[in-house]
Amino acid sequence: MERDAEKDLQMCEAATPGPWKTSQHDQYSLDIVSAPEQEVICWTDSFGQGARDGYFIAEAREALPYWIDRAVSLEKEVGMLRDALEKIDIHIRSTGDPVPHIIQTLKDTLPEYKEWWDIGE
């Protein structure tokens, strides 16, 4: 099933603000609560699979938005790098001396390396 990052992030933002944590309610139940308010979000069994699910729910409140943002950011970066590689490929195939264009494309695409590329020029 394909996911929509924007809708998933909106779902996260609509939930009770995090972070969430687990809190032992009694001998048999585990609360998932907002921190520091201690507002009960939901509860589960405090043993076995229920406890593992509770810890997952609490951690997912912060983890899911983090990883969605990270994935969206990396997808943009991958697109930018693919565009640069396509430009380089076109010049390699169509010109006798593609090196100057390759260097310029790398400088434009990876500005953090501009100073390094200027060495020796």
The per-residue pLDDT for 117 is: 61
Residue 120 has pLDDT above 90, yes or no: no
Is the pLDDT higher at 121 or at 89? 89
**Token pair in block for residue 45:** 């069994």
Tens digits of per-residue pLDDT, 25-72? 998 999 999 998 899 999 999 999 999 999 999 999 999 999 999 999
Reported as a pLDDT band with limits 50, 70 and 90, residue 116 is low
- The residue that leads in pLDDT, 118 or 6, is 6
pLDDT of res. 54: 95
Reported for 67-74, long-range contacts at CB under 8 A and 24+ positions apart, including other chains, are: 68/5, 68/8, 68/9, 68/12, 69/9, 71/5, 72/5
* Average pLDDT value over all residues in the chain: 90
Segment 3-30 mean pLDDT:
94
Task: Name the residue ranges covered by the structural domains of the chain.
Answer: 5-118
